[in-house]
Amino acid sequence: MSARGTVRLALLLLLVAALTTPAAAAAGPAGPTAVWRVDLPYADARSPIVAAGDALFVACRDAVVALDARTGAERWRHPVTVPWTARLAAEGRHVALAYSVASRSHEVRVLDARTGAAQWSRRLGIVPVLLTAPGMIIVDVDKEAPMGETHRAFRSTDGTPLWTAEDLGHHARVVGRRLVGDDRAIELATGAVAWTATAFRDLKVFAVSPDGRRATGTARVAPDFADAVVRVDGANGTVRWRSAGRAELAAGHDDGRRVYLASSPRAGSPRVTAQDAGTGAPLWSRPGRAYQDLFGFGMFTAGGRLHVHEDLFCHTADPATGAERPTPVLDGGCEDALTAADLVIYRDADRITAHPAATGR
């Protein structure tokens, strides 16, 4: 065989080996723009990654995996079969997982965040949302006989039931010491109703202020009960401001100075907008990028930048103007984005990468 033929054969063998060797679930360098990269096969693309401190928690098909957010190194792996999309939430030293075990039943399993050891579990109805507050896991439960739709709170350490409240909707959120949604607020300490609003109903919370005092979202607002974007005081339900808004919001973020909102493609012409947090005055608006909603939406600020996740698209903007800023080029569609340990974390397909938050690159 000629020298050229030998080289071609060697290259062909290398290519075949690269295509047939399974990806390793280990951290490694990813070029000049990434701090670390992890290939994590079978990560559940529709289960958002959860961050707590310097740890990341990822739901995979056969396990929940904890990664060091600073390096990408695997800390532990808790075996569990997740046939469909799972829900994850983290509270203190605990990680909660909700996953389907039957057509109308989910199991909530709580793990030790440091070791991955199982702490307790409960079989409930369908669980569309998991929330956390200090010392508790809050479960949004659908279709559970005989109670129907409820919010239920459990002590995070041992699963002791704390309270059960009438359902506040899938977009209820923890606002300070209360759970706020629909037309009322629930005291986290007792489950008692703290206030019931007369000025609005069907509140869906998409952003909570950094001090935990204000909630921003969409609601039907008096006197005509038309759809509006509203900012509500979590302590008493007072409407701080309202602006004409779309009912089809998909995500929001409040950095204390501005409220950022992203509308769903179902709105027809999706947009990403910013409003003054104190007054609701519009600051800037730019077209959205998503044309469907399969992988979720999210927004956060880190490193002086606004980071937006719209279905399979992630992009970075100047918070003050909305002007686009450099965003890492990923190998595939951007299925998730979050911030942890002063890094911006992206997921595309089976790969998770971390980039410096200061530049978004």
Q: What is the pLDDT of residues 218-265, one digit of tens each?
A: 999 999 889 999 999 999 999 999 998 666 899 999 999 999 999 988
Average pLDDT score over residue span 108-133: 95
Q: What is the pLDDT of residues 279-329, one digit of tens each?
A: 999 999 999 988 888 888 999 999 999 999 999 999 999 999 999 998 888
**What is the dihedral sign for C-alpha 34, 39, 43, 46?**
positive
Give the pLDDT of residue 144. Answer: 63
Query: What's the pLDDT band for 3 if we cut at 50, 70, 90?
Result: very low
Q: What is the pLDDT of residues 34-46, one digit of tens each?
A: 999 999 988 887 7
Contact 206, 171 (CB under 8 A): yes
